[in-house]
Amino acid sequence: MNAVETIEDTLRSVAGQTHPDVEHIVIDGGSTDGTLDVIRRYQDHITLWKSEPDNGIYDAMNKGIGLTSGEVVGTLNADDVYNHNNVLTTVSQEFEDGRLEACYADLVYVDPQNMDHIVRYWRSCDYRPGLFERGWIPAHPTFFVRRSVYESLGRFDLQYRLHADTELTMRFLAVAGICSRYYPEIWVRMRTGGATNRSIGNILRGNLESYRACKAHGLKVTPLYFPIKFLSRLPQFFRRPKSGATD
């Protein structure tokens, strides 16, 4: 909602994908700042779009997931862009393995005014039991899932206002044990300043939501979860991709 300054980059990054069969659904929360004018300019590249009030970002994502007809579903925020034009082709090639139910990759946070300037490098890994208990999650904008998984395991739980992506990926990977794979490449560039990390208050509330999700799903966590998660994030601010890794 109200993303007129960034949404064109997002729409362009989807429209430029080399994969020939992309179903692009855009859900807007009732923008009033010119966002809809930008969407209309790209409507030839959009399968379906709608603008109406919603109950937050995860409610909007649930609406979009419910409108999909494709076999594999991914979500991209209005501040994010795909890192190169072959991301969705790579995703499609991964899902040629009929056993695979989800895949994900790396993400970089970038300066809102200069998307070539990386400020944080979120390098992931293959899931193994115990990772969520240490504050790990896959980078959600890189997380692609078969639609059948959403149909059987559900969408985002809206009681988690800031970290519903943590709860969802935890439910899919740690609880249901779906077959997933990590692809070691940067798939998404995300501008800093999103809702989750916009303020200290949101960061604290989001971490409490993650902890509550662990408890709700029976994962063994203690109050040490919070410093462990904080320490696990620190290397992201100092690590940088190897030369050529972002191409």
**Is 70 exceeded by the pLDDT of residue 1?**
no
d(CA 93, CA 70) in angstroms, rounded, equals 15
Q: In this predicted model, what pLDDT tens digit does every residue of 34-75 receive, in sequence order?
A: 999 999 999 999 999 999 999 999 999 999 999 999 999 999
pTM: 0.94
Domain ranges of the chain: 7-237
Number of Cβ within 10 Å of residue 130's Cβ equals 11
Number of Cβ within 10 Å of residue 75's Cβ equals 22
Mean pLDDT of 16-43: 95
For the domain covering 7-237, report its CATH number: 3.90.550.10
Check if the beta carbon of residue 228 is closer than 8 Å to that of residue 135. yes
d(CA 1, CA 19) in angstroms, rounded, equals 27
Q: In this predicted model, what pLDDT tens digit does every residue of 173-205 receive, in sequence order?
A: 999 999 999 999 999 999 997 666 666 888 899
Check if the beta carbon of residue 108 is closer than 8 Å to that of residue 186. yes
d(CA 97, CA 156) in angstroms, rounded, equals 26
28 φ/ψ angles, rounded to the nearest 5 degrees: -115, 145
